[in-house]
């Protein structure tokens, strides 16, 4: 006989977890910066002081305010075409975050789904999935993403697709292992004995317990996706050149680095800070959620 009390899924309550996470300095710093970026992205049209596409050759290569020759109003200077760097950066944030969130979400959903299936059913399903992941990992990520974008043609959709198709394996691998561990636990066994359907057990018992692992991975994935988007737009394979992107600004700034280094430096600083912020947020979430969610 199985003790039916074990059939109660230990529904980990999210409230104490959330409280623990919000008390973590890494979560606060990393999350705070990400929140700031989200505000920039959402409010780009209102917050950007200028039209990011407006050219004015009379105002070309203006340095940031505080340096000799700066124009008031152009806080972080202009590029060689006289476009406002700050405004382009703010609009670039929108592209970066949009691509990152959509791509990471697709990668997470696909990877989690595949990982759940492989981990729960095992057998040939698992064998096929494991082999697939292995082959996938054999391709260099940057090369693969460039290849995919080149095949599909450049553009936001291709970039999102490329990131998702490269990184779903990160989720699949971890979720598969976690699901296998969960399958051994008492409450899942109890659920089986009590006659819950396989799908019911997967969705009702296992999924909620692997979600917190997915959350940590998702945070890291966002940071990676921002970088891949920047790489692709740096190479010129992302969105069309009249949409401002960080990678595009960096590529442009690289060409005029001796005349106007700020065009290069600002998006680079943004990229660096974003990567670090997602990293800190992910590390903080893992640190603070682990003890709560693991009981």
Partner 1 sequence: MIELVAKRAGMAAITLFGVAVVVFVLLRVAPGDPIAMMIGPGATAEDIVRLRASYGLDQSLFNQFWIWLGSLVQGDFGTSISRRVGVGQLLLERLPATIELAIMALLVAIVLGGFIAIIGTLWRRHWSVGAVDGVNGLLLAIPEFVWALALVLVLGVALPVLPLSGRINPSLPTDFKTGFYLLEALLTLRFDLALDLARHMAMPVLALALPLAGIIARVLREALGEAMMQDYVTLARVKGMSELRLILSEAMRNAVGPTLALTGVQFTFLIGGTVIVEKIFSYPGLGNMAIDAVINRDFPLIQGLVLMFGVIFILINLIVDFAVVAFNPRLRHG
Report phi then psi at 50, rounded to 5. -135, 170
- Indicate which single residue of 138, 184, 195, 295 sits in contact with partner 1 (rule: CB under 8 A): 138
Q: How far apart are CA 226 and CA 99, in angstroms?
A: 7
> Does residue number 151 form part of the binding site for partner 1 (CB under 8 A)?
yes
**Of residues 80-109, those binding partner 1 (CB under 8 A):** none
**Residue 29 binds partner 1 (CB under 8 A):** no
Q: Is 140 in the site for partner 1 (CB under 8 A)?
A: yes
Which residue of 1, 58, 143, 199 would you call a contact of partner 1, by CB under 8 A? 143
Provide the H-helix boundaries in 43-122: 44-47, 85-121
153 binds partner 1 per the rule CB under 8 A: yes
**Binding of partner 1 by 261 (CB under 8 A):** yes
Kind and range of the H or E element at 17?
A: helix 14-22
Site for partner 1 in 239-258 (CB under 8 A): 250, 254, 257-258
Which listed residue (152, 165, 180, 211) binds partner 1 by CB under 8 A? 152
Q: Is 58 in the site for partner 1 (CB under 8 A)?
A: no
Q: What's the CA gap between 273 and 14, in Å, rounded?
A: 29
User: Is the Cα dihedral 283, 100, 38, 18 positive or negative?
Assistant: negative
Q: Residue 265 contacts by C-beta under 8 Å, 6 or more apart in sequence?
A: 253
Of 91, 129, 87, 138, which is closest to residue 110 (Cα–Cα)? 129
* Residue 66 binds to partner 1 (criterion: CB under 8 A): no
Q: For residue 156, state whether it binds partner 1 (rule: CB under 8 A).
A: no
x/- mask, partner 1, residues 192-231, rule CB under 8 A, reads --------------------------------x--x--xx
Cα–Cα distance for residue pair 249/270, rounded to 1 Å: 11
Per-position b or e across 248-269, b if 16+ CB within 10 A of its CB: bbbbbbeebeeebbbbbbbbbe
Q: Which of 65, 122, 276, 287 binds partner 1 (CB under 8 A)?
A: 276
Cα separations in angstroms, 15 against 206, 279, 291: 19, 23, 14
Residues touching partner 1, count (CB under 8 A)? 35
Considering only 265, 281, 289, 293, the residue that binds partner 1 (CB under 8 A) is 265
Query: Which residue, among 211, 242, 244, has the nearest Cα to 229 in the 3D structure?
Result: 244
Exactly one of 1, 58, 135, 199 binds partner 1 (CB under 8 A); that residue is 135
Q: Is the dihedral angle over the CA atoms 173, 176, 180, 185 positive or is it negative? A: positive
- Closest among 274, 269, 268 to 222, alpha carbons compared: 274
Q: Which of 271, 285, 289, 293 binds partner 1 (CB under 8 A)?
A: 271
Q: Is 25 in the site for partner 1 (CB under 8 A)?
A: no
> 66 or 72: whose CB is closer to partner 1?
66
234 binding partner 1? (CB under 8 A): yes
Contact between 9 and partner 1 per CB under 8 A: no
Contact 133, 151 (CB under 8 A): no
Q: Which of 28, 47, 65, 275 binds partner 1 (CB under 8 A)?
A: 275
Q: Where on the chain is the footprint of partner 1 (CB under 8 A)?
A: 135, 138-143, 146-147, 149-153, 224, 227, 230-231, 234-237, 250, 254, 257-258, 261, 264-265, 268, 271-272, 275-276, 279
């Amino acid at each position: 006989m199985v003790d039916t009390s074990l059939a109660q899924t230990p529904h980990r309550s999210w409230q104490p977890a959330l409280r623990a996470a919000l008390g973590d300095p890494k979560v606060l710093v990393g999350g705070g910066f990400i929140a700031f970026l989200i505000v920039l992205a959402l409010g780009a049209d209102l917050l950007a002081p200028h039209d990011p596409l407006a050219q004015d050759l009379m105002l070309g290569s203006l340095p940031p305010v505080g340096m000799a020759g700066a124009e008031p109003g152009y806080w972080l200077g202009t590029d060689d075409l006289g476009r406002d760097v700050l405004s382009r950066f703010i609009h670039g944030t929108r592209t970066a975050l949009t691509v990152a969130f959509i791509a990471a979400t697709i990668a997470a959903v696909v990877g989690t789904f595949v990982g759940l299936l492989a981990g729960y059913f095992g057998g040939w399903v698992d064998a096929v999935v494991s082999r697939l992941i292995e082959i996938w990992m054999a391709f260099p990520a940057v090369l693969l993403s460039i290849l995919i974008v080149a095949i599909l043609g450049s553009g936001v959709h291709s970039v999102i697709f490329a990131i998702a198709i490269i990184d779903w394996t990160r989720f699949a691998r971890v979720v598969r292992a976690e699901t296998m561990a969960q399958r051994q636990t008492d409450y899942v066994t109890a659920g089986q004995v009590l006659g819950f359907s396989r799908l019911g057990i997967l969705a009702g018992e296992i999924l909620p317990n692997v979600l917190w692992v997915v959350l940590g991975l998702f945070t890291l994935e966002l940071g990676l996706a921002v970088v891949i988007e920047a790489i692709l737009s740096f190479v010129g394979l992302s969105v069309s050149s009249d949409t401002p992107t960080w990678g595009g600004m960096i590529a442009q700034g690289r060409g005029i680095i001796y005349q106007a280094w700020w065009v290069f430096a600002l998006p680079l600083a943004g990229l660096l800070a974003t990567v670090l912020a997602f990293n800190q947020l992910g590390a903080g979430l893992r640190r603070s959620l682990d003890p709560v969610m693991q009981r």
